[in-house]
Amino acid sequence: MNKYAIAIHGGAGTILRSLMSESQEKEYRAALLASLQAGNKALENGGTAIDAVEAAIIVLEDNPLFNAGKGSVFTHDGRHEMDAAIMNGKTLEAGAVAGVRNVKNPVKLARAVMGHSEHVLLCGGGAEEFAKEMSLPFETDEYFFSQQRYDQLLEIRDTGTTQMDHSAPNNKKFGTVGAVALDVHGNLAAATSTGGMTNKRYGRVGDSPIIGAGTYANNQTCAISCTGHGEYFIRAVVAYDISCLMEYKGLALAEACHEVVHKKLVALGGEGGLIAIDAKGNIELPFNSEGMYRGMKKQGEEYWVAIYGV
């Protein structure tokens, strides 16, 4: 029997202690802890890594503090288009959805794509139709509306730029969410869910639902969930690159993460971070931004959450 472990993130970006109130910080820490607890509960008593990452993500999707599910950011045309993915490191099965609207928990839909369709990635209306077939819950536009997020859009709507949610100048930082886990059977899993970037074009898809870019899991190497400026993470094929450095070059998890997050991505200009776990339960939480909402829990150890860089 292996020792189980789980790690989560709630987005990386310009997250500064000086701009965060004590009560805000408390809320974030409580939310990260609740997510870890849900994941940990799923892993206890022989539960699977895939159930654990889904459970951890659902808690964050339902929390308006994070840019996923309920708290998703606005597109340029004032809507919400969400991306999510999940991958099973044992079988290399994966499911993902892109640009879905009004689906309450996109990670559940990604899991349904993995388990109940012949496909890996469904997008837009087709994915929503599939959600209905799977009897997954939908929510109204009001459910996804928040004044803070709308203000974020209005601030940059006419600038022709997109913005990572957690890099908003007013420090109302909420990020993409992700989870990676190792279960007692030695299986790895990863999942990521996001509303993308504020002011993104209709139809823009980020790295999160792209298997190998923002999400990847393979029992032979590691499980990874990324957060950051998605276009760079796609171009650098971040998650699979880390796995490849381990598989083909024999790098340890920490070395592989360092190579990609602090060298390759930095050289390209890609801001962000990721969470990673290997089959021995080693966990890495690297980021090249000011901070990253993050946490982990290993069997027999205390819960641990953090927000800022050193």
| No. of helices (H) and no. of strands (E), the chain | 10, 12
Nearer to ligand ASP, 79 or 90 (CB): 79
Nearer to ligand ASP, 197 or 296 (CB): 197
What is the smallest separation between the CB atom of 38 and ligand ASP, expressed in angstroms?
Answer: 21
Residue 302: CB atoms within 10 Å: 7
Nearer to ligand ASP, 213 or 253 (CB): 213
3-state SS class at 241: helix
Site string for ligand ASP, 230-269 (x = CB under 6 A): x---------------------------------------
Angle, CA 74 vertex, CA 161 and CA 134 arms, to 5°: 130
Nearer to ligand ASP, 4 or 216 (CB): 216
Binding positions for ligand ASP, 283-302, rule CB under 6 A: none
For residue 119, with 0-12 CB atoms within 10 Å meaning exposed, 13-18 middle and 19 or more buried, which class applies?
Answer: middle
What is the smallest separation between the CB atom of 225 and ligand ASP, expressed in angstroms?
Answer: 10
For residue 161, with 0-12 CB atoms within 10 Å meaning exposed, 13-18 middle and 19 or more buried, which class applies?
Answer: exposed
Nearer to ligand ASP, 205 or 246 (CB): 205
Closest CA relative to residue 4, chosen from 38, 31, 42, 34: 42
Binding positions for ligand ASP, 10-49, rule CB under 6 A: 11
Site string for ligand ASP, 110-149 (x = CB under 6 A): ----------------------------------------
176 as an active site residue: the answer is yes
3-state SS class at 295: strand
Indicate which residue of 176, 192, 198, 215 is catalytic: 176
By the rule CB under 6 A, 208 interacts with ligand ASP: yes
Beginning with the edge strand found earlier in the chain, give each strand of the sheet holding 121-123 in spatial order: 121-123, 94-100, 82-88, 188-194, 177-182, 5-13, 291-298, 304-308
Amino acid at 117: S
Half-sphere exposure of residue 258: CA atoms within 13 angstroms, side-chain side: 5
- Out of 187, 221, 227, 243, name the contact with ligand ASP by CB under 6 A: 227
- Out of 207, 241, 271, 290, name the contact with ligand ASP by CB under 6 A: 207
Which residue shows structure tokens 């999707």?
61
Binding positions for ligand ASP, 147-176, rule CB under 6 A: 164-165, 175-176
Binding site for ligand ASP (CB under 6 A): 11, 67, 164-165, 175-176, 194, 196-197, 206-208, 214, 227-228, 230
